[in-house]
Amino acid sequence: MKCLVTGGAGFIGSNLVEALLAGGSEVTLLDNFSTGLRSNLPEGEGGLSVIEGDVLDYELVSSCAAGAEAIFHLAAEVGNVRSLQNPVRDAQVNVVGTINVLRATISCGARNVVYSSSSAIFGEPRYLPIDEEHPLAPESFYAVSKLAAEKYCLAFARLHDISVACLRYFNVYGRRQGYSEYANVMPIFAERLLSGRPLTIYGDGEQTRDFVSVDDVVRANLLAAGKVLPKGEVFNIGTGVKTTVNALAGAIQKVAGTTVPCHYEAPRQGEVRDSVADISRAREILGFEPRTDLEQGVHAFLSWYRDNRPVTGGSGHGEGE
């Protein structure tokens, strides 16, 4: 299969590219390397073509999409905090960039688009677990832009008869996820723990998240690319298991075999209190089943992180939450 992966040098994107190449696919990777890392790219892969550029450049995107059977769109401005600081850039990349990818999909005749969306679009849950029919009430500019892009994906699917899967990632963690203020809590905790510094927890720590391994997210992408969804479809991608931030802090210290104090600060603007996915639809239609439990995932992540400090950049150009 010939594929285009936008944001393919980022955290999730690079893991996806690796899996596609291992499966024999020919991959064109488009990334502007604003946060994606060249060190994430496999070396000496004959089936990989790396293009440096931006999804805001339609002509470039169209050129990269030529001949592709499937397009995985992960390129994005990522993070609630960053979007509050620069909402214009957030909207340009996440909305206009997505429209460019969809236009290119039509022009090149690709059969399938897999779009990386985010659970941030739900806002504060009205009920748990969160299914795909849950009301959408985004509470940050990032969440608004991801929702708008998702709606464009579904509209393009209906109007142009292309197969589109929108994958709403919950809290993704794993190999190649770098430390920064915009990252998931996992690498932030890992960096502070291994540095012997207190773990900063915003709020009382009893807020809940659905932490899903990047390996499971990659598998969801591959499954979605193998389905024909001519009217477009949305899927929650998580584990269905909720974990408090306090419990995560305890788990990562247990796995590391060391302890540090926890320092509590005021809750951060734009972040929800509780979140856990209902993944019934992904199970039924995609055949998706998470395989990595939290303790296994934390152990694997810490093992990788110890060997790869320091890692610059955020969670990677084009990553879901």
Quick one: tokens of 26? 């020919």
- The pLDDT, as a whole number, for residue 268 is 83
pLDDT tens, residue by residue, 276-308 = 999 999 999 999 999 999 999 999 999 999 999
Domain residues of the chain, as ranges?
2-172+213-237, 174-210+241-277+292-307
Residues of the chain with confidence (pLDDT) below 70: 79-84, 181-183, 270, 310-321
Look over the chain and give the mean of its residue pLDDT values, rounded to a whole number: 92
- The pLDDT, as a whole number, for residue 272 is 85
- For residue 164, what are the β-bridge partners? 113
pLDDT tens, residue by residue, 156-210 = 999 998 999 999 999 999 999 988 766 689 999 999 999 999 999 999 999 999 9
- The pLDDT, as a whole number, for residue 182 is 60
Separation CA 315–CA 321 (nearest Å) = 9
The CATH code belonging to domain 174-210+241-277+292-307 is 3.90.25.10
Q: Which active-site residues does the annotation give?
A: 142
- How far apart are the two ends of the chain, measured CA to CA in Å? 27
Q: 196-200 long-range CB contacts below 8 Å, 24 or more apart? A: 196/260, 197/260, 198/260, 198/261, 198/262, 198/263, 199/249, 199/260, 199/261, 199/262, 199/263, 200/262, 200/263, 200/264, 200/265
- The pLDDT, as a whole number, for residue 318 is 37
CATH 3.40.50.720 fits 2-172+213-237, yes or no: yes
- The pLDDT, as a whole number, for residue 311 is 46
